[in-house]
Amino acid sequence: MVELLIIKPSSLGDIVNALQVATSLKAQRDDLRISWIVRDIFAPLVKACEVVDHVYIFERNAGTKGFMRLMKEVRKTKFDYVFDMQGLLRTGLMTSRALAKTKVGRADAREWSGMFYDRKVPLPPDGRRSHAVDILLQFCPVLDAKPELHGQIKFREVDKLNLSFADGKSGTKPILMFPDSRRADKRWNGFLQLTQMMLRSNRNRKVIWAGNNFLPAKGALPANRFLNLTGNTSLVSLPALIQRAEWVITNDSGPMHLAAALGVPVMGIFGPTDPRLFGPYPLNAPDHLVVQAPVRDLKLLPAKEVYARFQRADHRLHKKR
């Protein structure tokens, strides 16, 4: 059995990208056992992923003592490979403390973390202008695997999880929206208008808002067709919730990457970030839609334009089915 330690503590979108690469590695190597170092706030999702065999919890706020406790636990296992997929000083230090035959990092590693690697994987042909997933896929050849996605990412079932609220009327699935983002300049403020347009145009449609921070939905929205789960969405329930959606509409965020990885149609709304680097992967998938704000300013993106783009994409999707 080949013991692999992946170091990818954060953030949610980056972790989802790395989980896809881990899924591909296991699909191509049946002798692989994967362990993972992840921040405590993201650990539930990594633990639920079927390809991850063991999880080490990184408590970022626990200081030096917490770091030493973590590495003491990690050093109980002698790994064949360590993949530092983050490429920052703290993950470089984790790499240095781990026991492994070969320690591998990114060619674009920062904060002097590259000094802790035995080997660096090259960037894709487009260099730093490559998509985040394509950059991580370059770790695959280290294990004699192809640098491409194989297999379908899967998550373990969560016992006693009630998701009946996500069942649409007459068998239709809901539109799932994630209106929040960690960065204010990546947060589009048109989700309320978009929700109103969708509910007015289709009386059978149901819209759900989700996310870990509460956002009030001001205005008259039919209670039987709109549900606000913002502030009440756990990472454990996220995959199952997304898989019950007809579409996922979101800012540039982790749920966007998770929806794309799970094969759910997704619309990503982009402002300052470049969708060619951070959009739903793969970018050429017919049910991966990207809306880029004018001059990358989300304040200039009207809800009616987003709704029109959604209508056209939704029509094409249903026509194809």
**Do 139 and 169 fall within a single domain?**
no
Confidence of residue 114 (pLDDT cuts 50, 70, 90): very high
Tell me the pTM. 0.93
pLDDT digits (tens, 9 = 90+) for 279-305: 999 999 999 999 999 999 999 999 999
In a domain? residue 51: yes
Residues 171 and 262 in one domain: yes
The pLDDT assigned to 156 comes to 87
Is 190 found in the same domain as 92? no
User: Are 125 and 191 contained in the same domain?
Assistant: no
Give the model confidence (pLDDT) of 10-23 as tens digits: 999 999 999 999 99
Instruction: Based on the fold, state whether residues 108 and 187 are members of the same structural domain.
Output: no
Tell me, yes or no, whether 149 lies in a domain: no
Residue 120 pLDDT exceeds 90 = yes
Q: Specify the pLDDT at position 319.
A: 76
Kindly report the backbone phi and psi dihedral angles of residue 105, in degrees, each rounded to the nearest multiple of 5, phi listed first.
-140, -175
Quote the pLDDT of residue 165.
56
Query: Which residues make beta-bridge pairs with 181?
Result: none
Does 119 lie in the same domain as 178?
no
Where is average pLDDT lowest: 2-11, 28-37, 227-236, 264-273? 227-236
The CATH code of the domain that includes 138 is 3.40.50.2000
Distance CA 189, CA 100 (A): 47
Q: Compute CA 257 distance to the chain's CA centroid, rounded to the nearest angstrom.
A: 4
- pLDDT value, residue 219: 77
Instruction: Assess whether 247 and 101 both reside in one domain.
Output: no
Question: For residue 145, what pLDDT is reported?
Answer: 98
Same domain, 133 and 214: no
Q: What is the pLDDT of residues 139-149, one digit of tens each?
A: 999 999 999 99
Write out the residue range of the structural domain in which residue 55 sits: 2-143
Confirm whether 150 is domain-assigned: no
Are residues 227 and 271 both part of a single domain? yes
Query: 12 and 115: one domain?
Result: yes
pLDDT of residue 271: 96
More confident position, 283 or 168: 283
Q: What is the rounded distance in angstroms from the CA atom of residue 153 to the CA atom of residue 20?
A: 6
pLDDT tens readout for residues 34-43: 999 999 999 9
CA distance 138 to 145: 10
pLDDT at residue 172 in the model: 80
pLDDT surpassing 60 at residue 169:
no
- Calculate what percentage of the chain has a pLDDT beyond 90: 84
What is residue 4's three-state secondary structure? strand
pLDDT of residue 9: 98
Q: Among 93, 109, 143, give the residue marking a domain's end.
A: 143
Count of domains observed in the chain: 2
The answer to whether residue 160 sits within a structural domain is no
Q: Which of 74, 109, 143 is the last residue of a domain?
A: 143
Confidence band, pLDDT 50/70/90 cuts, at residue 218: confident
Q: Among residues 160, 152, 153, 194, which one has the least CA distance to residue 176? A: 194
Q: Is residue 313 part of a domain?
A: yes
- pLDDT for 166 equals 61
Do 13 and 54 belong to one domain? yes
pLDDT band at 171 (very low <50, low <70, confident <90, very high): low
Phi and psi (nearest 5°) for 95?
-60, -40
159 confidence band (pLDDT: 50, 70, 90): low
Domain boundary among 79, 111, 143: 143
Do 75 and 216 sit in the same domain of this protein?
Answer: no
Asked if the structure places residue 307 within a domain, the reply is yes
Q: What dihedral angle (degrees, nearest 10) is formed by the CA atoms of 248, 252, 258, 261? A: 90
| Domain-embedded: residue 62 | yes
Residue 40 lies in a domain: yes
Cβ pair 123, 130 in contact under 8 A: yes
pLDDT tens digits for range 265-277: 999 999 999 999 9
Asked if the model's pLDDT at residue 50 lies above 60, the reply is: yes
Q: Is 134 left (phi over 0), alpha (psi -120 to 50) or beta?
A: alpha
